[in-house]
Amino acid sequence: MEDLFAESREQNLGRAEPLALRMRPRALAEFVGQEHFLGPGKLLRRMLEADRITSVIFYGPPGTGKTALAEVIAGATQRHFERANAASIGVKEIRAILDEAAGRLGAKGRGTILFLDEIHRFTRNQQDVLLGDVERGVITLIGATTENPFFAVNSALVSRSQIFQFEPLAEEDVLVLMRRALADPERGYGRLEVEVAADALAHWARLCDGDARRALTALEIAVLSSTAAGGKAVIDLATAEESIQRKALRYDATGDDHYDAASAFIKSMRGSDPDAAVYWLARMLVAGEDPRFIARRIAILASEDIGNADPRALSVAAAACEITERVGLPECQLTLAQAAIYMACSPKSNASARAVWQAMDDVKNQRTVPVPKHLRDGHYGGARQLGHGEGYRYAHDAPRGWVDQDYLGVEKTYYEPSDRGHEQWIRKFLAWLKERGAPPAPP
């Protein structure tokens, strides 16, 4: 029997949809952002235009277009398209979809694309259900996730998929989407009298942090709260500020955000950029990173990247670790900032680190060097009879506090001081010991 009210119900449901959902692109030409793989001539665009998409995993933060792109594919492909969310579907339902896909392929030769949103919510065992049919080509999988697929998705499934990493949208891209929503008479506010100040749009584009959904939601709140019956909505910066929540910093303390921010922090200090170092420090602190973790990173860098170019850096780092432990937040942010800036502004040398790395490699992989007899302990019973300690020369008995003596037993140089900072003096000091020239001036 024909449902006379189906169209009315569909219209009512459509009107209830939030703006961000209504404004999803209907075709590839409407999709905004991700030019690094969707730009003209790029891999994914070529695959979509030829309807030759293989199994893929879309990975990136919320609001960057993962689901929207899957919907575009659904409207453009000649293959059957199935949608599911891993948070609300079980193995039984997935098996039914796979059985139907196999039957469809065998009977009609028509392939199936399965879009599985939040694929990381499937356990490893649940993901294994997909593996056989993905491998045989019974289905083409499009998985979407905000988690790093190399950690959250089975390696076998990852190896059979092309991974596309979605980046946060640029402010210009978010502005395009908001202006499109204001102008669209069917899905947006094109039929209403809405005037939005340029600085209000810029505020949303900046504060959404590349999340288009968040920007469009703010626009929707502002319009709905400013439009009187049949009247004109005027949205200024003050209204825009009220319409968007405080910036919610996306930061996974055990995932990519944690490692990427820490990496940027360390590399900024190593690269002698105090401004960048302070920014990444603030980024981690605001996101709730453990300040003790940050202090440990500073301490490691003090030895690995500064070393004897500025021996005081290690003392600063040690003090930062102790004060952070004793004082805690919020006050320890001052100590961490001071220490990070000191590290960034110190001369750099990894000579000490390279010395111990090379020595460790030799100990592990080369023939073990025995302790030379003249360096062995001659105090325990029988040691003197074995010749231990015989021939050792006490350095302080020499005029310069140094004697030309073999302390290793093989010819090997591990420590080669740089010509930066305090190591300039160390280099000259070592040369003075061997060449008997004029002593170097004290540092």
Q: In order of start, what are the domains of the chain with their CATH numbers? A: 33-165 (3.40.50.300), 171-243 (1.10.8.60), 256-344 (1.20.272.10), 351-435 (1.10.3710.10)
Distance CA 131, CA 288 (A): 37
Q: What is the structure's pLDDT at 371?
A: 86
- Asked if 36 and 5 count as a contact pair (C-beta separation under 8 A), the reply is no
Q: What is the structure's pLDDT at 1?
A: 45
Cα three-residue angle 219-224-225, rounded to 5 degrees: 100
- The burial of 24, by beta-carbon neighbours within 10 Å (0-12 exposed, 13-18 middle, 19 or more buried), is given as buried
- Asked if 148 and 155 count as a contact pair (C-beta separation under 8 A), the reply is no
Quote the pTM value.
0.68
Only one residue has tokens 């390696």, namely 155
CB atoms within 10 A of CB 79: 19
Instruction: Please confirm whether the linkage preceding 417 is cis (ω < 30° from 0).
Output: no
Mean pLDDT per 10-residue segment, the chain (443 residues): 52 71 92 93 90 91 92 89 89 91 91 92 86 90 91 88 93 95 93 91 92 93 77 86 72 72 95 95 91 96 96 97 94 96 96 94 89 81 76 84 85 92 91 72 67
Q: Which two tokens stand for residue 48?
A: 């979509």
Coil, strand or helix: which one is 10?
helix
Distance CA 404, CA 385 (A): 25
Q: 291-301 vs 312-327: helix axis angle to the nearest 10?
A: 170
Question: In which region does residue 271 sit, left (phi positive, over 0), alpha (psi from -120 to 50) or beta (all else)?
Answer: alpha
Coil, strand or helix: which one is 117?
strand
Among 155, 156, 58, residue whose Cα is nearest residue 113: 58
Measured over all CA atoms, what is the biggest interatomic distance in the chain, rounded to whole angstroms? 111
